[in-house]
């Protein structure tokens, strides 16, 4: 984990990274969403963000909509394709906004693009939004969501880790004690409110 990194100009940037993947601050997420040109892509981005699921899991969900119960998403071993999985089956908890977004996502008639295309899209939208595209990719939304939840709901970390499919050691190593500021925490509430 490298929370703060030197920029080429000799100073420091205030971007947050977890395992070389960019974690967005809430204001950056809002700017990025407002710069996505098509509603379908906004829905895809928000589904990835509000579920905190892996890119492959969200693709699987689109093809297996009955996994969405209305309150949770039930991921079985076939959905969790990661080789070194810690949790073989899990229920992804959703807040009210997440439930609404997942319903909308399951209604779109276009599948998520390839991993490479999504990375290129995110970087292009970031440039348009005036934020750094550095290390943005399909893992960004998952890591952002977990970091926000842990920062906003520190007493719910066991539930958050289970919902995300991480064991406590992995989660503590990567997602706790990141340099969010007071404004970040206040703004996180607009996104994560009602997650419990």
63-95 pLDDT, tens digit each: 999 999 999 999 988 787 666 666 678 999 999
Q: Could you tell me which residue, 132 or 87, shows the higher pLDDT?
A: 132
Tokens of 1: 């984990």
Specify if 37 maps to a domain: yes
Q: 129 pLDDT exceeds 60?
A: yes
What is the average pLDDT score of the chain?
A: 88
Q: What is the mean pLDDT of residues 183-192?
A: 96
What pLDDT, in 10s, does the model give residues 2-56?
333 333 333 346 899 988 899 999 999 999 999 999 999 999 999 999 999 999 9
Specify if 177 maps to a domain: no
Specify if 183 maps to a domain: no
What pLDDT band is residue 96 in, cutting at 50, 70 and 90?
very high
Residue 195's closest CA among 136, 155, 167, 137?
A: 155
pTM of the model: 0.89
Give residue 169's pLDDT: 58
User: How many C-beta atoms surround the C-beta of residue 7 within 10 A?
Assistant: 12
User: How many C-beta atoms surround the C-beta of residue 45 within 10 A?
Assistant: 23
Specify if 172 maps to a domain: no
Q: 1 pLDDT exceeds 60?
A: no
Give residue 56's pLDDT: 94
Q: 147 pLDDT exceeds 60?
A: yes
Q: Could you tell me which residue, 71 or 167, shows the higher pLDDT?
A: 71
Beta strands at 21-23 and 72-75: parallel, antiparallel or unpaired: unpaired
> Please, which residues have CB within 8 angstroms of residue 10's CB and are 6 or more apart in sequence?
none
Give residue 3's pLDDT: 38
Give residue 12's pLDDT: 45
User: For the chain, how many structural domains are there in total?
Assistant: 1
Specify if 57 maps to a domain: yes
Give residue 77's pLDDT: 81
Q: What is the mean pLDDT of residues 131-144?
A: 95
Domain span holding position 105: 25-139
Specify if 1 maps to a domain: no
Specify if 153 maps to a domain: no
CATH code of the domain in which 133 resides: 1.10.443.10
Give residue 196's pLDDT: 81
Burial environment of residue 158 by CB neighbours within 10 A (0 to 12, 13 to 18, 19 or more): exposed
Specify if 129 maps to a domain: yes
């Amino acid at each position: 984990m490298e929370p703060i990194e030197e920029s080429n100009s000799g100073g420091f940037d205030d971007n947050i990274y977890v395992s070389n993947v960019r974690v967005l601050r809430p204001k950056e997420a809002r700017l990025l969403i407002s710069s996505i040109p098509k509603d379908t892509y906004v829905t895809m981005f928000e589904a990835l963000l509000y579920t905190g699921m892996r890119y492959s899991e969200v693709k699987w969900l689109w093809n297996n909509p009955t996994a969405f119960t209305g309150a949770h998403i039930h991921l079985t071993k076939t959905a969790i394709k990661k080789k070194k999985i810690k949790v073989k089956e899990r229920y992804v908890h959703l807040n009210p906004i997440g439930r609404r977004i997942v319903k909308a996502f399951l209604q779109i008639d276009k599948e998520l693009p390839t991993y490479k295309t999504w990375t290129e899209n995110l970087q292009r939208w970031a440039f348009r939004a005036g934020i750094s595209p550095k290390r943005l990719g399909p893992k960004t939304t998952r890591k952002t969501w977990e970091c926000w939840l842990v920062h906003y709901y520190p007493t719910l970390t066991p539930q958050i880790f289970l919902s995300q499919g991480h064991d406590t050691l992995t989660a503590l190593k990567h997602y706790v004690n990141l340099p969010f500021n007071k404004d970040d925490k206040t703004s996180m509430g607009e996104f994560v409110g009602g997650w419990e």
